[in-house]
Amino acid sequence: VTPAGLLDRLAVREVVLRYARGVDRRDLALVASCFTADCAYEGTLASGSIADALAALPERLARYARTMHFMGTQDVRLDGDRARCETACVAHHVLPDGGLTTVGVRYRDDLLRGADGWRICRRAVERVWSA
């Protein structure tokens, strides 16, 4: 393990956490900055490209007064300028009437290191449980 490798592992984990920050703060530019422009996306927002998912995000977020994407487990595998990161998340959705829904989500991300750092280039989102 080299210092550069440790920086990479940290940077990869941070991309996914910045996604959560962007969504929870309704900072769509921050959300978009976590992905490559041609990122493939398969999940709860869209099936196809990240552009479709980002386009669907504002309407989805409008359903909730607030969200908190609480992330724990992050399993990172580095391979040069590529990485995989699997993240377990419990998403808390506060409804406009004050109610709360809780969803267990697994993000499977492939990341690429580019000129501007690590970005997600493929994402699969699995809704694992809800309560």
Partner 1 sequence: VTGGEALAYLADREAIRALVHACAAAIDRGDPDAVHACFTSDAAGDDVPEAGSTMHLVGNHLASIDGSTAAAETYVLRHHLGPAGSVQRVVGLRWLDELVRTDGGWRVRRRQVIVEFERARPVAS
Write out the residues near partner 1 by the rule CB under 8 A: 2-4, 6-7, 10, 14, 17-18, 20-21, 24, 66, 68-72, 92, 94, 100
CB-count exposure of residue 97 (10 Å: 0-12, 13-18, 19+): exposed
If the CB atoms of residues 7 and 128 are measured against partner 1, the closer one turns out to be 7
* Of 24 and 42, CB closest to partner 1: 24
Minimum distance, C-beta of residue 31 to partner 1, in the bound complex (Å): 14
| Rg of the chain on CA atoms, in Å | 15
For residue 69, the minimal CB distance to partner 1 (Å) is 8
**Of 46 and 103, which has the nearer Cβ to partner 1?**
103
